[in-house]
Chain A
Amino acid sequence: MMPLATESATEFWTESDVGAYVRLSPETAKLTLPRREAGRPAGASVELESFSLRGAFASVEPEYGELSFVKGRKEEEPTKAIQIPQLEGLDKHDPILTSTVRDMLHKLRAIVVSRAMQTRFPLRRTVVSVFRDPEEERSQALLRLFVDANAAQAIAFWDSLEKDLEDWLEGLDEHLRLRFLRDISLRVHWS
């Protein structure tokens, strides 16, 4: 199922089923389903509160910049799409991948995906990984992003996450905030 967003803009947050926050406009945020899904007829509009980020595609212009969906476009017209990749590696088993850490990895990914959608940044893969440092005898849970961008674009995107991360971590209690800083991190790899 690949829902296409036919209308929306920015500046309104709504929660997805992975705890993600997606910026969309309050008045125009609707999705049109290309096929019958979840008991709704094909072509039906749904409110974005029920929209799942998993495997979603958003209709956007090809170059980087602010997200700007085309209003009133017919469903059958060709669209340029940014793929939101699935989160891979969730089947890994490791002592560091506790339910708390997995939950924070989901939230981290949601922040990344949200920013990528806003800026039309091309994420290719998002992967959960565990990195072991033999020198310091410790492990860290990583969210690896593989992106279709050059070094400058990838690092600029990474830098742009600072405020989102600060805002999210400020809302966590001290224990979780420190847990994130110690046990979880983001890695970005470009072509």
Chain B
Amino acid sequence: MVIVTPTSQPFDPEEFFRFSATITRDPTADEARLRSAISRAYHATHLIARDRLFGLDARLFSKSVKKAIRRKIAGDVGSHALIIFAVSEKSKTVGQQLGQLKDARVIADYKLDQKHLAAAGKNSWRDYAEETLALASQVLPSVKRLPRY
């Protein structure tokens, strides 16, 4: 039995990425695990981007900040889209790459029809997980350098 001791250190979201990598490296990983790996890889990058822009647990991501961004983009979008928009204001390509990770996470978590794999040019969940992990590994260093919003 493993006893987890509470710590004062905040959780490092990169642990999600390492978790994803462990699953993806496992040749026996099934579709459920590979979908989970994709989802966690996105969350690792999303959380790091969010906290770089808006502080730990997005404490600076107040209602007024969200409202200001929504007014700017003239759209009632969710918090994940707001983060991607905020990243895009700093770097267009990093924003797009985070968007691709987000799409993969949506497909992995919500879309059960396998035709969605084909839209991304993939024949298997392993291929899709490997592509997503490779992209996440490149995006992570970029989002770690994001300045405060």
- Which A residues lie at the B interface, using CB under 8 A? 129, 131, 133-138, 140, 144, 146, 151-152, 155, 158-159, 161-162, 165-166, 169, 178, 181-182, 185-190
- The minimal Cβ–Cβ distance linking B63 to chain A, given in whole angstroms, is 17
User: Does A162 lie within 8 Å of B81, measured CB to CB?
Assistant: no
B105-149 vs A, CB cutoff 8 Å, 1 = contact: the mask equals 010001000000001111000000001001100100000000000
In the complex, B67 has a CB within 8 A of chain A: no
Identify which of A152, A161, A181 gathers the most chain B CB atoms within 10 Å of its CB.
A181
Residues of chain A within 8 A (CB-CB) of B92 are 161-162, 165-166, 169, 181
Residues of chain A within 8 A (CB-CB) of B97 are 155, 158
Q: Which of B85, B103, B110, B119 contacts A182 (CB 8 A)?
A: B85
Residues A131 and B103 in contact in the complex (CB < 8 Å), given A155-B138, A189-B120: yes
- The minimal Cβ–Cβ distance linking A113 to chain B, given in whole angstroms, is 16
B76-89 vs A, CB cutoff 8 Å, 1 = contact: the mask equals 01101100010011
In the complex, B10 has a CB within 8 A of chain A: no
User: Does A155 lie within 8 Å of B135, measured CB to CB?
Assistant: yes
**CA distance in complex: A167, B103 (Å):** 26
Nearest 9 pairs of A and B residues by beta carbon: A136-B78, A151-B134, A189-B121, A165-B92, A182-B73, A162-B93, A155-B138, A186-B96, A185-B99
- The minimal Cβ–Cβ distance linking A83 to chain B, given in whole angstroms, is 17
User: Does A181 lie within 8 Å of B88, measured CB to CB?
Assistant: yes
- Can you add 16 more A-B contacts, CB < 8 Å, to A144-B121, A161-B93? A133-B81, A133-B102, A134-B106, A136-B81, A137-B78, A146-B121, A155-B138, A158-B97, A159-B93, A169-B92, A181-B85, A181-B89, A181-B92, A185-B96, A187-B99, A188-B100
Q: Which of B88, B110, B131 contacts A190 (CB 8 A)?
A: B131
Chain A residue at smallest Cβ distance from B100: A187
Q: Which of A135, A155, A181, A188 contacts B106 (CB 8 A)?
A: A135
Sorting the interface of chain B by its residue count into under 10, 10 to 19, 20 to 34 or 35 or more gives 20 to 34
- The minimal Cβ–Cβ distance linking B111 to chain A, given in whole angstroms, is 8
In the complex, B72 has a CB within 8 A of chain A: yes
- The minimal Cβ–Cβ distance linking A97 to chain B, given in whole angstroms, is 16
User: Does B110 lie within 8 Å of A138, measured CB to CB?
Assistant: no
Chain A residue at smallest Cβ distance from B122: A189
In the complex, B6 has a CB within 8 A of chain A: no
- The minimal Cβ–Cβ distance linking B19 to chain A, given in whole angstroms, is 20
User: Does B100 lie within 8 Å of A178, measured CB to CB?
Assistant: no
- The minimal Cβ–Cβ distance linking B96 to chain A, given in whole angstroms, is 5
**CA distance in complex: A140, B102 (Å):** 12
User: Does A138 lie within 8 Å of B77, measured CB to CB?
Assistant: yes
Residues of chain A within 8 A (CB-CB) of B95 are 181, 185
Q: Which of A138, A169, A188 contacts B75 (CB 8 A)?
A: A138
20 inter-chain pairs at a CB distance below 8 angstroms, sorted by A residue, are A131-B106, A133-B81, A133-B102, A134-B110, A135-B80, A136-B78, A138-B77, A138-B78, A155-B97, A155-B135, A158-B93, A162-B92, A165-B92, A166-B92, A181-B89, A187-B96, A187-B100, A187-B120, A189-B120, A190-B131
Chain A residue at smallest Cβ distance from B137: A151
**CA distance in complex: A190, B127 (Å):** 10
